[in-house]
Structure 1
Amino acid sequence: MKVAIYGREFHPSVIPYVQHLFDSLVAKDTELWIYEDFHQFLEQQVECPQKLNTYSIHHQLPDDIGFMLSLGGDGTMLAAVAIVGDSGIPVAGINFGRLGFLASINKDEIETSIDAILHGEYNIQKRTLLAVQSDQTALFDGNHFALNDITLFKYDSSAMITVKAYLDGESLNAYWADGIIAATPTGSTAYSLSCGGPIIMPGSGNFVITPISPHNLNVRPVVISDDMELDLEIESRSGKFLLSCDSKTAAISTDVRLKITRAHFQVNLIRLKNYSYFSNLRNKLLWGLDARNY
Protein backbone atom coordinates (compact mmCIF):
# COMPACT_ATOMS: atom_id res chain seq x y z
CA MET A 1 0.00 0.00 0.00
CA LYS A 2 1.12 3.57 -0.69
CA VAL A 3 1.23 5.80 2.40
CA ALA A 4 1.78 9.57 2.54
CA ILE A 5 3.46 11.06 5.61
CA TYR A 6 3.22 14.66 6.76
CA GLY A 7 5.00 16.26 9.70
CA ARG A 8 6.94 19.21 11.02
CA GLU A 9 10.00 19.63 13.21
CA PHE A 10 9.63 17.84 16.54
CA HIS A 11 11.29 17.54 19.93
CA PRO A 12 14.19 15.02 20.19
CA SER A 13 12.14 12.94 22.65
CA VAL A 14 9.89 11.93 19.74
CA ILE A 15 12.71 10.42 17.65
CA PRO A 16 12.38 6.82 18.97
CA TYR A 17 8.66 6.79 18.12
CA VAL A 18 9.25 8.12 14.60
CA GLN A 19 12.01 5.58 14.02
CA HIS A 20 9.70 2.81 15.24
CA LEU A 21 7.00 4.03 12.83
CA PHE A 22 9.34 3.95 9.83
CA ASP A 23 10.70 0.52 10.77
CA SER A 24 7.14 -0.78 11.08
CA LEU A 25 6.03 0.66 7.73
CA VAL A 26 9.11 -0.70 5.95
CA ALA A 27 8.55 -4.15 7.46
CA LYS A 28 5.00 -4.09 6.11
CA ASP A 29 6.30 -3.39 2.58
CA THR A 30 4.57 -0.04 2.14
CA GLU A 31 5.54 2.55 -0.45
CA LEU A 32 6.26 5.80 1.41
CA TRP A 33 5.67 9.36 0.21
CA ILE A 34 7.05 11.98 2.61
CA TYR A 35 6.40 15.71 2.66
CA GLU A 36 9.53 17.29 1.18
CA ASP A 37 10.29 19.83 3.95
CA PHE A 38 9.70 17.18 6.61
CA HIS A 39 12.01 14.76 4.82
CA GLN A 40 14.85 17.27 4.90
CA PHE A 41 14.41 17.56 8.67
CA LEU A 42 14.09 13.79 9.16
CA GLU A 43 17.34 13.01 7.38
CA GLN A 44 19.21 14.65 10.28
CA GLN A 45 17.14 12.90 12.96
CA VAL A 46 16.27 9.30 12.06
CA GLU A 47 17.35 6.52 9.74
CA CYS A 48 15.04 7.09 6.79
CA PRO A 49 14.09 4.26 4.43
CA GLN A 50 16.29 4.18 1.34
CA LYS A 51 13.41 3.89 -1.08
CA LEU A 52 10.96 6.70 -0.60
CA ASN A 53 9.34 9.50 -2.57
CA THR A 54 8.72 13.14 -1.68
CA TYR A 55 5.87 15.55 -2.41
CA SER A 56 4.99 19.15 -1.61
CA ILE A 57 1.33 19.29 -2.75
CA HIS A 58 -1.29 16.54 -2.92
CA HIS A 59 -1.37 16.72 -6.71
CA GLN A 60 2.09 15.13 -6.68
CA LEU A 61 0.80 12.06 -4.83
CA PRO A 62 -0.28 8.98 -6.82
CA ASP A 63 -4.00 8.49 -7.39
CA ASP A 64 -3.99 5.22 -5.46
CA ILE A 65 -2.47 6.58 -2.24
CA GLY A 66 -4.05 4.70 0.66
CA PHE A 67 -4.02 7.33 3.38
CA MET A 68 -1.95 10.10 4.95
CA LEU A 69 -0.29 9.89 8.37
CA SER A 70 0.15 13.15 10.26
CA LEU A 71 2.99 13.04 12.80
CA GLY A 72 2.55 15.64 15.52
CA GLY A 73 -0.19 17.36 17.46
CA ASP A 74 -3.48 18.91 16.40
CA GLY A 75 -1.71 21.84 14.73
CA THR A 76 0.20 19.43 12.51
CA MET A 77 -3.06 17.64 11.76
CA LEU A 78 -4.66 20.89 10.61
CA ALA A 79 -1.68 21.54 8.32
CA ALA A 80 -1.98 18.00 6.93
CA VAL A 81 -5.66 18.60 6.16
CA ALA A 82 -4.67 21.79 4.29
CA ILE A 83 -2.22 19.73 2.20
CA VAL A 84 -4.86 17.07 1.45
CA GLY A 85 -7.42 19.70 0.41
CA ASP A 86 -10.32 18.35 -1.62
CA SER A 87 -8.45 15.20 -2.75
CA GLY A 88 -10.47 12.93 -0.44
CA ILE A 89 -7.32 11.22 0.91
CA PRO A 90 -8.12 9.82 4.39
CA VAL A 91 -5.98 11.29 7.19
CA ALA A 92 -4.89 9.66 10.45
CA GLY A 93 -2.97 11.50 13.16
CA ILE A 94 -0.36 10.07 15.52
CA ASN A 95 -0.28 12.38 18.52
CA PHE A 96 3.20 13.61 19.42
CA GLY A 97 1.74 16.82 20.87
CA ARG A 98 -0.21 17.61 24.02
CA LEU A 99 -3.99 17.50 23.67
CA GLY A 100 -4.68 15.30 20.66
CA PHE A 101 -8.33 15.99 19.82
CA LEU A 102 -7.71 15.47 16.10
CA ALA A 103 -4.52 13.40 16.20
CA SER A 104 -6.20 10.55 18.05
CA ILE A 105 -3.62 7.74 17.81
CA ASN A 106 -1.44 7.44 20.90
CA LYS A 107 2.30 7.30 20.20
CA ASP A 108 2.54 4.19 22.39
CA GLU A 109 0.10 2.34 20.13
CA ILE A 110 1.82 2.86 16.78
CA GLU A 111 2.32 -0.82 15.90
CA THR A 112 -1.24 -2.00 16.55
CA SER A 113 -2.77 1.14 15.03
CA ILE A 114 -0.81 0.88 11.78
CA ASP A 115 -1.72 -2.80 11.51
CA ALA A 116 -5.39 -1.96 11.93
CA ILE A 117 -5.32 0.80 9.30
CA LEU A 118 -3.43 -1.31 6.77
CA HIS A 119 -6.03 -4.07 7.21
CA GLY A 120 -8.92 -1.63 6.79
CA GLU A 121 -10.07 -1.94 10.40
CA TYR A 122 -11.21 1.65 10.83
CA ASN A 123 -14.09 4.01 10.19
CA ILE A 124 -14.12 7.16 8.09
CA GLN A 125 -15.48 10.23 9.86
CA LYS A 126 -16.41 13.04 7.49
CA ARG A 127 -15.80 16.52 8.88
CA THR A 128 -17.17 19.79 7.50
CA LEU A 129 -14.88 22.73 6.72
CA LEU A 130 -15.49 26.47 6.40
CA ALA A 131 -14.36 28.66 3.52
CA VAL A 132 -13.55 32.37 3.72
CA GLN A 133 -13.56 34.53 0.58
CA SER A 134 -13.64 38.12 -0.54
CA ASP A 135 -14.67 39.71 -3.82
CA GLN A 136 -11.90 42.29 -3.38
CA THR A 137 -8.83 40.14 -2.89
CA ALA A 138 -7.55 36.56 -2.94
CA LEU A 139 -7.02 35.06 0.51
CA PHE A 140 -4.28 32.60 1.50
CA ASP A 141 -3.35 31.86 -2.11
CA GLY A 142 -6.58 29.96 -2.61
CA ASN A 143 -6.05 27.72 0.43
CA HIS A 144 -8.84 29.48 2.31
CA PHE A 145 -10.44 26.47 4.02
CA ALA A 146 -10.51 25.71 7.74
CA LEU A 147 -11.31 22.50 9.58
CA ASN A 148 -11.32 24.21 12.99
CA ASP A 149 -12.17 27.89 12.68
CA ILE A 150 -11.87 31.18 10.86
CA THR A 151 -11.00 33.99 13.25
CA LEU A 152 -10.92 37.77 13.00
CA PHE A 153 -8.79 39.56 15.59
CA LYS A 154 -7.69 43.12 16.22
CA TYR A 155 -4.40 44.00 14.55
CA ASP A 156 -2.65 45.45 17.58
CA SER A 157 -3.03 45.55 21.35
CA SER A 158 -4.92 48.85 21.49
CA ALA A 159 -8.59 49.43 20.76
CA MET A 160 -11.17 46.75 20.03
CA ILE A 161 -12.65 46.33 16.57
CA THR A 162 -16.23 46.47 15.37
CA VAL A 163 -17.45 43.50 13.32
CA LYS A 164 -20.77 43.92 11.53
CA ALA A 165 -22.22 40.47 10.86
CA TYR A 166 -24.93 39.59 8.34
CA LEU A 167 -26.60 36.19 7.93
CA ASP A 168 -27.98 35.55 4.45
CA GLY A 169 -28.05 39.31 3.96
CA GLU A 170 -29.89 40.11 7.21
CA SER A 171 -28.13 42.03 9.98
CA LEU A 172 -27.23 39.79 12.92
CA ASN A 173 -25.15 42.04 15.18
CA ALA A 174 -22.38 44.61 15.41
CA TYR A 175 -19.77 43.00 17.64
CA TRP A 176 -17.61 45.38 19.67
CA ALA A 177 -14.88 42.98 20.68
CA ASP A 178 -11.29 41.86 20.27
CA GLY A 179 -12.60 39.71 17.43
CA ILE A 180 -14.96 36.87 16.54
CA ILE A 181 -14.58 33.18 15.74
CA ALA A 182 -16.55 31.19 13.19
CA ALA A 183 -16.00 27.56 14.21
CA THR A 184 -17.02 24.22 12.76
CA PRO A 185 -18.23 21.41 15.04
CA THR A 186 -14.66 20.10 14.92
CA GLY A 187 -13.33 23.50 15.98
CA SER A 188 -15.98 23.96 18.67
CA THR A 189 -13.65 22.20 21.14
CA ALA A 190 -10.71 24.50 20.25
CA TYR A 191 -10.39 28.31 20.44
CA SER A 192 -14.16 28.81 20.43
CA LEU A 193 -14.54 26.65 23.55
CA SER A 194 -11.91 28.68 25.43
CA CYS A 195 -13.92 31.83 24.59
CA GLY A 196 -17.13 30.39 26.03
CA GLY A 197 -18.55 28.74 22.93
CA PRO A 198 -20.59 25.50 23.06
CA ILE A 199 -19.45 22.03 22.07
CA ILE A 200 -21.15 20.97 18.81
CA MET A 201 -21.37 17.38 17.65
CA PRO A 202 -19.64 16.64 14.31
CA GLY A 203 -22.22 16.06 11.58
CA SER A 204 -24.85 18.26 13.24
CA GLY A 205 -25.01 20.65 10.27
CA ASN A 206 -24.12 23.76 12.26
CA PHE A 207 -21.35 26.19 13.00
CA VAL A 208 -20.94 28.68 15.83
CA ILE A 209 -20.15 32.39 15.92
CA THR A 210 -18.25 33.18 19.12
CA PRO A 211 -17.19 36.71 20.13
CA ILE A 212 -13.72 37.23 21.65
CA SER A 213 -13.83 39.43 24.77
CA PRO A 214 -16.96 41.36 23.72
CA HIS A 215 -17.48 44.86 25.15
CA ASN A 216 -21.16 44.11 25.80
CA LEU A 217 -21.34 41.23 28.26
CA ASN A 218 -24.83 40.20 27.11
CA VAL A 219 -23.44 39.21 23.69
CA ARG A 220 -23.17 35.42 23.55
CA PRO A 221 -22.17 32.75 21.01
CA VAL A 222 -24.83 31.79 18.49
CA VAL A 223 -25.18 28.45 16.68
CA ILE A 224 -26.41 28.68 13.10
CA SER A 225 -27.08 26.34 10.19
CA ASP A 226 -24.05 25.68 8.02
CA ASP A 227 -26.27 26.35 4.98
CA MET A 228 -26.19 30.04 5.84
CA GLU A 229 -23.77 32.65 4.50
CA LEU A 230 -22.01 34.90 7.00
CA ASP A 231 -20.86 38.30 5.66
CA LEU A 232 -18.54 40.45 7.76
CA GLU A 233 -17.55 44.12 7.65
CA ILE A 234 -14.75 45.27 9.96
CA GLU A 235 -13.97 48.68 11.43
CA SER A 236 -10.67 49.36 13.20
CA ARG A 237 -8.65 52.42 14.19
CA SER A 238 -5.53 50.80 12.74
CA GLY A 239 -7.17 50.21 9.37
CA LYS A 240 -6.21 46.53 9.56
CA PHE A 241 -7.25 43.32 11.27
CA LEU A 242 -5.81 39.82 11.56
CA LEU A 243 -7.53 36.97 9.74
CA SER A 244 -6.66 33.38 10.60
CA CYS A 245 -7.77 30.26 8.77
CA ASP A 246 -6.73 27.41 11.07
CA SER A 247 -2.94 27.77 11.25
CA LYS A 248 -2.67 30.42 8.50
CA THR A 249 -2.73 34.12 9.45
CA ALA A 250 -2.66 37.32 7.41
CA ALA A 251 -3.08 41.06 8.03
CA ILE A 252 -6.07 42.36 6.04
CA SER A 253 -7.26 45.88 5.29
CA THR A 254 -10.61 46.88 6.80
CA ASP A 255 -11.71 47.80 3.26
CA VAL A 256 -12.05 44.08 2.61
CA ARG A 257 -15.45 42.48 3.21
CA LEU A 258 -15.45 38.77 4.04
CA LYS A 259 -17.85 35.95 3.22
CA ILE A 260 -17.79 32.73 5.27
CA THR A 261 -19.64 29.64 4.04
CA ARG A 262 -19.47 25.88 4.34
CA ALA A 263 -16.72 24.51 2.10
CA HIS A 264 -17.72 22.53 -1.00
CA PHE A 265 -15.91 19.41 0.28
CA GLN A 266 -15.37 17.45 3.48
CA VAL A 267 -12.24 15.90 4.93
CA ASN A 268 -12.03 12.17 5.71
CA LEU A 269 -10.60 11.43 9.15
CA ILE A 270 -9.53 7.88 9.99
CA ARG A 271 -10.90 6.67 13.32
CA LEU A 272 -9.96 3.26 14.70
CA LYS A 273 -12.74 0.89 15.73
CA ASN A 274 -12.19 1.58 19.44
CA TYR A 275 -12.48 5.36 18.99
CA SER A 276 -15.36 7.10 20.78
CA TYR A 277 -16.11 10.80 20.40
CA PHE A 278 -17.62 11.04 23.88
CA SER A 279 -14.80 9.08 25.47
CA ASN A 280 -12.37 11.44 23.77
CA LEU A 281 -14.25 14.44 25.20
CA ARG A 282 -14.19 13.00 28.71
CA ASN A 283 -10.48 12.20 28.56
CA LYS A 284 -9.30 15.44 26.95
CA LEU A 285 -11.53 17.80 28.93
CA LEU A 286 -11.15 15.81 32.17
CA TRP A 287 -14.90 15.42 32.55
CA GLY A 288 -15.84 13.47 35.66
CA LEU A 289 -12.42 13.97 37.24
CA ASP A 290 -13.75 14.05 40.77
CA ALA A 291 -12.77 11.96 43.77
CA ARG A 292 -16.46 11.04 44.26
CA ASN A 293 -16.38 9.10 40.97
CA TYR A 294 -13.60 6.75 42.10
Structure 2
Amino acid sequence: MKLQFRHVALIGKYQANGSRSALEAIAHFLSQRGCEVSIEQDTANNTGISQYPILNVAGIGAHCDLALVVGGDGTMLGIGRLLARFGIPLIGINQGRLGFITDIAFEGFENVLGPMLSGEFEDDKRWMMQATVVRDGHCVFKATAMNDVVVNRGATTGMVELRVEVDGRFLANQRADGLIIATPTGSTAYALSAGGPLLHPSVGGWILVPIAPHTLSNRPIVLSDSGEITVELVSGRDASANFDMQSLAALMIGDRINVKRSESQMRFLHPKGWSYFDTLRKKLHWNEGVAVGAQSRTSHEI
Protein backbone atom coordinates (compact mmCIF):
# COMPACT_ATOMS: atom_id res chain seq x y z
CA MET A 1 0.00 0.00 0.00
CA LYS A 2 1.16 3.53 -0.75
CA LEU A 3 2.70 5.36 2.21
CA GLN A 4 1.06 8.59 3.34
CA PHE A 5 3.88 9.48 5.74
CA ARG A 6 7.43 9.50 4.41
CA HIS A 7 9.49 10.97 7.25
CA VAL A 8 8.63 9.90 10.81
CA ALA A 9 10.08 11.32 14.04
CA LEU A 10 10.32 8.99 17.04
CA ILE A 11 9.88 10.41 20.54
CA GLY A 12 10.15 8.20 23.61
CA LYS A 13 9.59 8.20 27.34
CA TYR A 14 13.24 7.39 27.83
CA GLN A 15 12.99 6.99 31.64
CA ALA A 16 10.84 3.85 31.27
CA ASN A 17 12.37 0.38 31.39
CA GLY A 18 12.72 -1.15 27.96
CA SER A 19 12.20 2.14 26.15
CA ARG A 20 15.33 1.80 24.01
CA SER A 21 14.46 -1.68 22.75
CA ALA A 22 10.89 -0.58 22.04
CA LEU A 23 12.04 2.48 20.10
CA GLU A 24 14.54 0.43 18.10
CA ALA A 25 11.88 -2.15 17.23
CA ILE A 26 9.50 0.56 16.02
CA ALA A 27 12.25 2.35 14.09
CA HIS A 28 13.19 -0.92 12.37
CA PHE A 29 9.56 -1.55 11.44
CA LEU A 30 9.20 1.97 10.00
CA SER A 31 12.40 1.60 7.97
CA GLN A 32 11.19 -1.72 6.57
CA ARG A 33 7.99 -0.03 5.48
CA GLY A 34 10.01 2.55 3.54
CA CYS A 35 9.80 5.45 5.99
CA GLU A 36 12.72 7.74 6.71
CA VAL A 37 13.22 7.71 10.49
CA SER A 38 14.65 10.40 12.75
CA ILE A 39 15.02 10.42 16.54
CA GLU A 40 14.05 13.41 18.68
CA GLN A 41 17.12 14.97 20.27
CA ASP A 42 16.39 14.35 23.98
CA THR A 43 15.24 10.82 23.21
CA ALA A 44 18.49 10.08 21.37
CA ASN A 45 20.66 11.64 24.10
CA ASN A 46 18.99 9.65 26.87
CA THR A 47 18.68 6.28 25.14
CA GLY A 48 21.96 6.23 23.23
CA ILE A 49 20.25 5.48 19.91
CA SER A 50 22.61 6.86 17.29
CA GLN A 51 22.01 4.91 14.08
CA TYR A 52 19.33 7.35 12.88
CA PRO A 53 19.44 11.09 12.18
CA ILE A 54 18.77 13.24 15.25
CA LEU A 55 16.43 16.24 15.08
CA ASN A 56 15.34 18.88 17.59
CA VAL A 57 11.74 20.10 17.72
CA ALA A 58 12.29 22.75 15.06
CA GLY A 59 13.95 20.15 12.83
CA ILE A 60 11.02 17.77 13.25
CA GLY A 61 8.62 20.58 12.38
CA ALA A 62 10.60 21.43 9.25
CA HIS A 63 11.33 17.95 7.91
CA CYS A 64 8.90 15.34 9.29
CA ASP A 65 5.28 14.67 8.39
CA LEU A 66 4.47 12.45 11.40
CA ALA A 67 5.56 12.19 15.04
CA LEU A 68 5.29 8.78 16.68
CA VAL A 69 5.32 8.94 20.48
CA VAL A 70 6.25 5.90 22.58
CA GLY A 71 5.08 6.45 26.15
CA GLY A 72 2.02 7.65 28.03
CA ASP A 73 -0.34 10.58 27.70
CA GLY A 74 2.10 12.86 29.54
CA THR A 75 4.83 12.20 27.01
CA MET A 76 2.36 12.78 24.19
CA LEU A 77 1.11 16.08 25.59
CA GLY A 78 4.63 17.33 26.33
CA ILE A 79 5.90 16.94 22.77
CA GLY A 80 2.49 17.75 21.29
CA ARG A 81 2.51 21.24 22.80
CA LEU A 82 5.85 21.90 21.11
CA LEU A 83 4.89 20.45 17.71
CA ALA A 84 1.36 21.85 17.43
CA ARG A 85 2.47 25.07 15.75
CA PHE A 86 3.98 23.01 12.92
CA GLY A 87 0.78 21.04 12.30
CA ILE A 88 2.58 17.70 12.75
CA PRO A 89 0.12 14.84 13.49
CA LEU A 90 0.91 12.49 16.37
CA ILE A 91 0.40 8.76 16.90
CA GLY A 92 0.79 7.29 20.39
CA ILE A 93 2.13 3.83 21.24
CA ASN A 94 1.86 2.89 24.90
CA GLN A 95 4.11 0.33 26.58
CA GLY A 96 1.97 0.14 29.71
CA ARG A 97 -1.66 0.97 30.37
CA LEU A 98 -3.41 2.42 27.34
CA GLY A 99 -4.06 6.13 27.71
CA PHE A 100 -6.80 8.44 26.53
CA ILE A 101 -4.67 9.60 23.60
CA THR A 102 -1.84 7.03 23.44
CA ASP A 103 -4.18 4.26 22.44
CA ILE A 104 -2.04 1.72 20.55
CA ALA A 105 -0.57 -1.13 22.60
CA PHE A 106 3.11 -1.84 21.97
CA GLU A 107 2.38 -5.56 21.74
CA GLY A 108 1.28 -6.16 18.17
CA PHE A 109 1.75 -2.51 17.15
CA GLU A 110 2.76 -3.62 13.64
CA ASN A 111 -0.77 -4.75 12.79
CA VAL A 112 -2.23 -1.40 13.83
CA LEU A 113 0.50 0.99 12.70
CA GLY A 114 0.95 -0.50 9.22
CA PRO A 115 -2.50 0.50 7.88
CA MET A 116 -2.23 3.92 9.56
CA LEU A 117 0.95 4.70 7.64
CA SER A 118 -1.05 4.12 4.45
CA GLY A 119 -3.82 6.53 5.43
CA GLU A 120 -6.24 4.33 7.35
CA PHE A 121 -6.79 6.39 10.49
CA GLU A 122 -9.22 8.63 12.37
CA ASP A 123 -8.17 12.30 12.53
CA ASP A 124 -8.72 13.99 15.91
CA LYS A 125 -7.96 17.71 16.32
CA ARG A 126 -7.91 19.33 19.77
CA TRP A 127 -7.70 23.00 20.70
CA MET A 128 -5.22 24.08 23.39
CA MET A 129 -5.15 26.97 25.86
CA GLN A 130 -2.80 29.93 25.81
CA ALA A 131 -2.32 31.36 29.31
CA THR A 132 -0.47 34.36 30.68
CA VAL A 133 0.18 35.64 34.19
CA VAL A 134 -0.04 39.44 34.33
CA ARG A 135 1.45 41.41 37.23
CA ASP A 136 1.19 45.20 37.43
CA GLY A 137 0.26 45.31 33.75
CA HIS A 138 3.22 43.20 32.61
CA CYS A 139 3.27 39.58 31.47
CA VAL A 140 5.55 37.67 33.85
CA PHE A 141 4.78 34.13 32.70
CA LYS A 142 3.13 32.40 29.75
CA ALA A 143 2.47 28.81 28.79
CA THR A 144 0.40 26.56 26.57
CA ALA A 145 -1.82 23.87 28.08
CA MET A 146 -3.65 20.94 26.53
CA ASN A 147 -5.44 19.69 29.66
CA ASP A 148 -5.95 22.50 32.11
CA VAL A 149 -4.88 25.68 33.85
CA VAL A 150 -5.12 25.36 37.63
CA VAL A 151 -4.89 27.99 40.37
CA ASN A 152 -4.09 26.34 43.72
CA ARG A 153 -3.80 27.44 47.31
CA GLY A 154 -0.51 27.01 49.16
CA ALA A 155 0.26 23.64 50.73
CA THR A 156 0.10 24.92 54.34
CA THR A 157 -2.39 27.79 53.99
CA GLY A 158 -6.16 28.20 53.88
CA MET A 159 -8.43 28.91 50.96
CA VAL A 160 -7.74 31.38 48.20
CA GLU A 161 -10.19 34.01 47.04
CA LEU A 162 -10.43 34.40 43.28
CA ARG A 163 -12.24 36.92 41.12
CA VAL A 164 -13.39 35.34 37.86
CA GLU A 165 -14.26 37.28 34.70
CA VAL A 166 -15.46 35.99 31.31
CA ASP A 167 -14.80 38.30 28.36
CA GLY A 168 -14.27 41.17 30.81
CA ARG A 169 -17.59 40.59 32.59
CA PHE A 170 -17.62 39.71 36.27
CA LEU A 171 -18.74 36.13 36.94
CA ALA A 172 -18.11 35.56 40.65
CA ASN A 173 -15.75 35.81 43.58
CA GLN A 174 -14.89 32.32 44.71
CA ARG A 175 -13.37 31.07 47.95
CA ALA A 176 -12.00 27.57 47.46
CA ASP A 177 -8.86 25.46 47.52
CA GLY A 178 -8.43 26.39 43.89
CA LEU A 179 -9.96 26.59 40.45
CA ILE A 180 -9.55 24.47 37.31
CA ILE A 181 -10.08 25.68 33.76
CA ALA A 182 -10.12 22.53 31.62
CA THR A 183 -10.37 21.75 27.91
CA PRO A 184 -12.48 18.80 26.70
CA THR A 185 -9.26 16.77 26.70
CA GLY A 186 -8.62 17.81 30.31
CA SER A 187 -12.17 17.00 31.36
CA THR A 188 -11.06 13.41 32.05
CA ALA A 189 -8.11 14.53 34.18
CA TYR A 190 -8.00 16.74 37.31
CA ALA A 191 -11.35 18.35 36.50
CA LEU A 192 -13.08 14.96 36.66
CA SER A 193 -11.57 14.25 40.09
CA ALA A 194 -12.87 17.60 41.32
CA GLY A 195 -16.43 16.78 40.22
CA GLY A 196 -16.49 18.31 36.76
CA PRO A 197 -18.43 16.85 33.82
CA LEU A 198 -17.02 14.99 30.85
CA LEU A 199 -16.88 17.06 27.67
CA HIS A 200 -16.66 15.46 24.23
CA PRO A 201 -13.54 16.62 22.29
CA SER A 202 -15.70 17.98 19.46
CA VAL A 203 -17.40 20.47 21.81
CA GLY A 204 -16.01 24.00 21.57
CA GLY A 205 -16.05 24.60 25.28
CA TRP A 206 -14.12 24.80 28.52
CA ILE A 207 -15.05 23.69 32.02
CA LEU A 208 -14.66 25.95 35.06
CA VAL A 209 -14.41 23.68 38.13
CA PRO A 210 -13.89 24.93 41.71
CA ILE A 211 -11.75 22.75 43.98
CA ALA A 212 -13.42 22.18 47.38
CA PRO A 213 -15.42 25.45 47.28
CA HIS A 214 -16.46 27.20 50.50
CA THR A 215 -20.01 27.54 49.15
CA LEU A 216 -21.51 24.24 48.02
CA SER A 217 -23.72 26.00 45.48
CA ASN A 218 -20.56 27.00 43.62
CA ARG A 219 -20.77 24.38 40.86
CA PRO A 220 -18.82 23.60 37.65
CA ILE A 221 -19.90 25.51 34.56
CA VAL A 222 -19.26 24.92 30.84
CA LEU A 223 -18.20 28.00 28.88
CA SER A 224 -17.46 28.72 25.22
CA ASP A 225 -13.79 28.42 24.28
CA SER A 226 -14.08 31.40 21.94
CA GLY A 227 -13.86 33.88 24.80
CA GLU A 228 -11.27 34.79 27.43
CA ILE A 229 -11.33 33.81 31.10
CA THR A 230 -9.49 35.91 33.67
CA VAL A 231 -8.79 34.75 37.22
CA GLU A 232 -7.44 37.33 39.69
CA LEU A 233 -5.90 36.35 43.01
CA VAL A 234 -7.72 38.47 45.61
CA SER A 235 -6.32 36.81 48.74
CA GLY A 236 -4.33 33.75 49.78
CA ARG A 237 -0.68 33.08 50.53
CA ASP A 238 1.69 30.87 48.52
CA ALA A 239 -0.83 30.37 45.70
CA SER A 240 0.39 29.09 42.36
CA ALA A 241 -0.78 28.63 38.80
CA ASN A 242 0.15 25.54 36.85
CA PHE A 243 -0.36 24.52 33.27
CA ASP A 244 -0.85 20.81 32.51
CA MET A 245 0.79 20.18 35.91
CA GLN A 246 4.19 20.90 34.39
CA SER A 247 4.77 24.64 34.22
CA LEU A 248 4.48 26.48 37.54
CA ALA A 249 4.15 30.15 38.39
CA ALA A 250 4.14 31.50 41.97
CA LEU A 251 1.39 34.09 42.34
CA MET A 252 1.16 37.39 44.20
CA ILE A 253 -1.99 39.21 45.31
CA GLY A 254 -3.44 41.07 42.33
CA ASP A 255 -1.94 38.75 39.71
CA ARG A 256 -4.29 37.99 36.82
CA ILE A 257 -4.24 34.73 34.88
CA ASN A 258 -5.66 35.23 31.39
CA VAL A 259 -6.71 32.13 29.45
CA LYS A 260 -7.79 32.03 25.82
CA ARG A 261 -7.82 29.51 23.00
CA SER A 262 -4.45 28.89 21.41
CA GLU A 263 -3.93 29.60 17.73
CA SER A 264 -2.70 26.03 17.22
CA GLN A 265 -4.43 22.68 17.44
CA MET A 266 -2.92 19.39 18.53
CA ARG A 267 -3.64 16.70 15.96
CA PHE A 268 -3.89 13.06 17.03
CA LEU A 269 -4.27 10.09 14.69
CA HIS A 270 -6.11 7.00 15.92
CA PRO A 271 -6.62 3.56 14.34
CA LYS A 272 -9.50 3.25 11.90
CA GLY A 273 -12.73 2.68 13.78
CA TRP A 274 -11.51 4.45 16.91
CA SER A 275 -14.26 5.94 19.09
CA TYR A 276 -13.99 8.35 22.01
CA PHE A 277 -16.79 6.42 23.70
CA ASP A 278 -14.81 3.18 23.46
CA THR A 279 -11.95 4.93 25.24
CA LEU A 280 -14.24 6.17 28.00
CA ARG A 281 -15.63 2.70 28.58
CA LYS A 282 -12.17 1.18 28.86
CA LYS A 283 -10.52 3.88 30.97
CA LEU A 284 -13.46 4.60 33.29
CA HIS A 285 -14.51 0.94 33.54
CA TRP A 286 -18.05 1.55 32.36
CA ASN A 287 -20.29 -1.49 31.82
CA GLU A 288 -18.42 -3.58 34.38
CA GLY A 289 -20.88 -6.00 35.90
CA VAL A 290 -23.35 -5.53 33.03
CA ALA A 291 -24.32 -8.77 31.32
CA VAL A 292 -23.24 -9.10 27.70
CA GLY A 293 -26.18 -8.34 25.44
CA ALA A 294 -28.15 -6.60 28.22
CA GLN A 295 -30.81 -4.30 26.79
CA SER A 296 -31.19 -0.62 27.64
CA ARG A 297 -34.10 0.25 29.88
CA THR A 298 -37.09 1.57 27.99
CA SER A 299 -38.54 4.97 28.76
CA HIS A 300 -41.46 3.60 30.80
CA GLU A 301 -39.03 1.71 33.05
CA ILE A 302 -37.06 4.81 34.02
Q: TM-score, normalised by structure 1?
A: 0.89
Report what 1:69 is aligned to: 68
Match of 1:7 among 8, 12, 17: 12
Report what 2:102 is aligned to: 103
1:28 counterpart letter in structure 2: R
Shift of 1:235: 3.1
**Alignment check: 8 A CA contact 1:178 1:213 kept:** yes
Shift of 1:99: 4.8
1:52 counterpart letter in structure 2: P
Shift of 1:220: 0.9
Report what 1:139 is aligned to: 141
Equivalent runs, 1:75-114 vs 2, <5 Å = 75-114=74-113
Matched, 1:30 2:29: no
Shift of 1:61: 2.4
Report what 1:194 is aligned to: 193
Structure 1 residues 67-120: Cα deviation after superposition (integer angstroms, max 9, x where no partner):
101111111111011220311100111123435001111122311222122211
1:250 counterpart letter in structure 2: L
Residue 62 and residue 114 in structure 1: after superposition, are their counterparts in 2 closer, same or farther (change >3 A)?
same
2:170 match: secondary structure: strand
Matched, 1:248 2:246: yes
Q: Flag structure 1 segments of 5+ consecutive residues without an equivalent.
A: none
Report what 1:50 is aligned to: 51
- Whole-Å separation in 2 of the counterparts to 1:205 and 1:232: 20
Structure 1 vs Structure 2 CA RMSD: 1.9
Report what 2:300 is aligned to: none
**Alignment check: 8 A CA contact 2:66 2:90 kept:** yes
Residue 284 and residue 62 in structure 1: after superposition, are their counterparts in 2 closer, same or farther (change >3 A)?
closer
2:108 match: secondary structure: helix
Match of 2:46 among 36, 41, 47: 41
1:233 counterpart letter in structure 2: E
* Aligned-residue identity in percent: 31
- Whole-Å separation in 1 of the counterparts to 2:203 and 2:165: 22
Shift of 1:124: 1.6
2:282 match: secondary structure: helix
- Whole-Å separation in 2 of the counterparts to 1:236 and 1:267: 35
2:268 counterpart letter in structure 1: L
- Whole-Å separation in 2 of the counterparts to 1:99 and 1:242: 31
Higher Rg of the two aligned structures: 2
2:213 counterpart letter in structure 1: P
Deviating runs (4+, > 3 A) in structure 1? 13-19, 291-294
- Whole-Å separation in 2 of the counterparts to 1:16 and 1:52: 17
- Whole-Å separation in 2 of the counterparts to 1:78 and 1:85: 10
